[in-house]
Amino acid sequence: MSKTIDRLPQDDNFRMPGEHEPQSEVWMAWPTRSDNWRYSGKPAQKAFVDVAVAIAKKTPVVMLVNDAQFANARAQLPAEIKVVEMSYNDCWMRDIGATYVINENGDRRGISWQFNAWGGLIDGLYFPWDLDDVVANKMLELTQDDIYQAPLVLEGGSIHTDGEGTLYTTEECLLHPSRNPEMSKGEIEQHLKNFLGIDKVIWLPRGLYNDETNGHVDNILHVVRPGEVALTWCDDQNDPQYQISRDAFDILNTEKDAKGRAITVHKLPMPGPLYMTEEEAAGIDHSEGMEREAGERLAASYANFLISNGQVVYPLLDKDRDAEARAVLEAAFPEHDLLGVNAREILLGGGNIHCITQQVPVR
């Protein structure tokens, strides 16, 4: 049985490992929400299956599913993917799942952040979010890891770490008034150091244009390995993403990481721009929080991939840019297997492959 730890992870010499470090499994959750996924998630479910099958080539996968969809998910997923019944509001495991930390003795524990559906009553995407807010604790019970309960509203997609003391995030998200308005930037940074065992935070100004998560870092940047990142890049001076990417590049080009290294930046092309079609919008139930209308610009990014045990599972989003993105990833990951998955259906829900997965490091 998991127990709650009263101390801080940093005091116990625990740190958040980088995504490039060994993983024991990856967790996902089944899409069903009719005001986010068209036709109550049926097209998205196929994409989630494809992602799970790709990951499972190297890493065991656990799929959460609500009771009404259990038989459907079990029938669609191969036998080697474990299906676990659990209640939740929506299926973004990166943000509702636990963040795991490890120490040099091979011990593992987990962090349960506070979750408010990307903005709470200010600009959250749905209400209620109470089921999502307890997923991390349930996950840690199932993986049998002790729990650090963090006093911070934070989503896993808003942080990237290199496992060697450096954390990347965006001011747009972590300093947004809908997250922790009572805390200063310095106080938030101290919480990140206390809970993730990091030494330095590199703050990018903004995330991807029109990202409804208030600019999660994982949709504009991905840590390749210590001292190297992949960054969404835009060459169209008339596109709002143009300046956002250049501002991020300027920070990365001038900052050193926690170990004093200059940061190498791999420039990933921006797909599109891509927009929701009338047909796609027609299959989604209307709700107050989420913009799901024809013509809405989609926050599409090749940086929203997953590294897992020597392979990279990345989204296929734009036939005119997919090959170029793969070439950049091949240069960045010369020793990894690259697996592209058609991911537009995931994109329509507001995120991509990194957003729907949460890795559990090896104990």
pLDDT tens-digit series, residues 142-180:
999 999 999 999 999 999 999 999 999 999 999 999 999
> So what's the pLDDT on residue 291?
80
Q: Which residues of 13-31 are buried (b: 16+ CB within 10 A; e: fewer)?
A: ebbbbbbbbebebbbbbbb
The catalytically annotated residue of 91, 173, 234, 355 is 355
- Distance of alpha carbon 302 from its chain centroid, rounded? 13
pLDDT of residue 287: 86
Give me the pLDDT at residue 261, please. Answer: 98
Reported as a single tens digit per residue, the pLDDT across 331-352 is 999 999 999 999 999 999 999 9
CA distance 99 to 110: 6
Query: What is the full DSSP assignment across 301-363?
Result: -TT--EEETTEEEEEE--TTTHHHHHHHHHHH-TTSEEEEEE-HHHHHTT--TTTT-EEEE--
| Active site annotation includes 355 | yes
pLDDT at site 289: 80
Asked whether the predicted pLDDT for residue 90 surpasses 90, the reply is: yes
Beta strands in 129-208 (DSSP E): 146-153, 160-161, 166-170, 200-204
Rounded mean pLDDT, 189-209: 98
Strand 311-316 and strand 337-342: pairing?
A: parallel
Angle at 144 (CA atoms; ends 141, 150), nearest 5 degrees:
60
| Average pLDDT score over residue span 192-213 | 98
CA 182, CA 114: separation in Å to the nearest integer? 15
Average pLDDT, the chain: 97
Q: Two tokens at 39? A: 């036709």
Separation of alpha carbons 284 and 40, rounded Å: 8
**Residue 220: predicted pLDDT:** 98
What pLDDT is attached to residue 74?
A: 98
Give kind and range of the element (H or E) at residue 101.
strand 99-102
Q: How far are the Cα atoms of 19, 174, 179, 210 from residue 183, in angstroms, in the given order?
A: 28, 10, 9, 25
pLDDT digits (tens, 9 = 90+) for 264-310: 999 999 999 999 999 999 999 998 888 889 999 999 999 999 999 99
pLDDT band at 183 (very low <50, low <70, confident <90, very high): very high
Phi-psi region at 140: left, alpha or beta (left = phi > 0; alpha = psi -120 to 50): alpha
Give mean pLDDT, residues 179-183.
97
Say how far apart CA 19 and CA 21 lie, in whole Å. 5
pTM (predicted TM-score): 0.97
Q: What domains sit in the chain, N to C, each tagged with a CATH number?
A: 4-361 (3.75.10.10)
Report the percent of the chain where pLDDT is more than 90. 98
